[in-house]
Amino acid sequence: MGSIKRIGVLTGGGDCPGLNPVIRAVVRKALAEGVEVVGIRNGWKGLVTETTMPLTLESVAGILPKGGTILGTSRTNPYKKEQDLAAVKANFKALGLDALIAIGGEDTLGVATRLTAEGFPVVGVPKTIDNDLSETDVTFGFDTAVNIVTECIDRLHTTAESHNRIMVCEVMGRHAGWIAVHAGIAGGADVILIPERPIDIEEVCRAIQNRHKRGRTFSIIVVAEGAEFKPGQTVNVVKEKDAFGHVRLGGIGNLLGEMIEQKTGYETRVTVLGHIQRGGSPSAFDRVLGTRFGVRAVELALEGEFGMMVSLKGNEIVPVKIEQATRQLKLVDAELYDLAKLFFG
Ligand code: F6P
* 134-187 tens-digit pLDDT: 999 999 999 999 999 999 999 999 999 999 999 999 999 999 999 999 999 999
Give 15 Cα–ligand 1 centroid separation in angstroms.
9
With CA atoms as reference, report the closest residue to 186 among 144, 224, 218, 147. Answer: 147
Who's near 158: CB < 8 A, 6+ residues apart? none
Mind listing the pLDDT tens digit for each residue in 213-253? 999 999 999 999 999 999 877 655 555 677 777 766 668 99
Who's near 107: CB < 8 A, 6+ residues apart? 12, 13, 75, 77, 244, 246
- What is residue 250's predicted lDDT score, i.e. its pLDDT? 64
Taken in order of first residue, the domains within the chain and their CATH numbers are 6-140+282-327 (3.40.50.450), 143-279 (3.40.50.460)
Give 209 Cα–ligand 1 centroid separation in angstroms.
33
- What is residue 242's predicted lDDT score, i.e. its pLDDT? 77
pTM tops 0.85: yes
Mean pLDDT of all residues in the chain? 95
Q: Which of 42, 172, 225, 236 to mutate to test the pocket of ligand 1 (most atoms within 8 A of CB)?
A: 172
Give 201 Cα–ligand 1 centroid separation in angstroms.
25
User: What residues line ligand 1, using a CB cutoff of 6 Å?
Assistant: 14, 105, 128-130, 172-174, 225, 249, 278
Q: How far is it, in rounded angstroms, from Cα 171 to Cα 174?
A: 9
Active site (catalytic) residues: 130
Percent residues over pLDDT 90 in the chain: 92
- What is residue 232's predicted lDDT score, i.e. its pLDDT? 73
- What is residue 245's predicted lDDT score, i.e. its pLDDT? 75
- Taking 70 as the pLDDT cut, the residues of the chain under it are 1-2, 234-240, 247-250
